[in-house]
Amino acid sequence: MILITGMYNVIPEGKSAIVKNIGNVEAGPIYTQQAVETVITGFGPIFISIAIFFFAFTTLLAYYYIAETTLTYLDRQLKYGWLKPVLKFGFLIMVYIGSVESASLLWNLGDLGIGSMAWLNLIAILLLSKIALKVLKDYETQKKEGKDPVFNPKNVGIEGLTFWEERSKEVERKSSREKVIVDDNLKL
């Protein structure tokens, strides 16, 4: 929409404008607001305000849900009752800071948060790679044997995955029942 309506400027950092379709407007939601304004006069600011509100609200709900779920998972054995109130208070502080600070600071904090998550995920992937390769090898072995691959944690030396252990037993029982039915049908 921004490109079609031409409501943008192209200004490299520290240089003069390459393209200046609208006045001295800082890059951001105002571009979209101006683009909507060219199509439906008077609706641009209203549309952007409502869109940003719902985007921010749903994003905050999602981040809080993810944080609380993660905290609950990590705290399942320690049972620290004070962690959830601290999370709630910290979350409210972040919402307040987000409402009073500049957009550039918030983008920098967001970049820091995303970068931290990326590094933590890369470390987790490296730590899990040995197990993941064992699981992949087990999967490929089952495929070569002509089986419908079923994950059984005991086949790869993983202990304590009760859901997957029960699931693999259930699949084995089901396949053995189906085999009995097929064998009985062949006898008929």
**pLDDT tens digits, one per residue of 117-153:** 999 999 999 999 999 999 999 999 999 999 888 888 8
**Which residue segment(s) compose the domain that 154 sits in?**
150-188
pLDDT band for position 25 (cuts 50, 70, 90): confident
- Residue 33 sits in the same domain as residue 56: no
- Residue 89 sits in the same domain as residue 116: no
- Residue 2 sits in the same domain as residue 35: yes
- Residue 86 sits in the same domain as residue 108: no
- Residue 34 sits in the same domain as residue 68: no
125, two tokens: 């992937």
- Residue 155 sits in the same domain as residue 184: yes
Predicted local confidence at residue 129, as pLDDT:
93
- Residue 56 sits in the same domain as residue 79: yes
- Residue 91 sits in the same domain as residue 109: no
Number of structural domains the chain divides into: 4
**pLDDT tens digits, one per residue of 72-118:** 988 887 788 899 999 999 999 999 998 898 888 888 988 998 999 99
pTM over 0.85: no
Average pLDDT, the chain: 87
- Residue 166 sits in the same domain as residue 179: yes
Residue 74 falls inside a structural domain? yes
Task: Name the CA dihedral angle for 57, 63, 69, 74, rounded to a multiple of 10 degrees.
Answer: -150
- Residue 58 sits in the same domain as residue 29: no
Task: Name the CA dihedral angle for 110, 113, 114, 120, rounded to a multiple of 10 degrees.
Answer: 180
Residue 47 falls inside a structural domain? no
| Inter-CA distances, 132 with 81, 121, 127, 142, Å | 34, 14, 10, 15
- Residue 160 sits in the same domain as residue 135: no
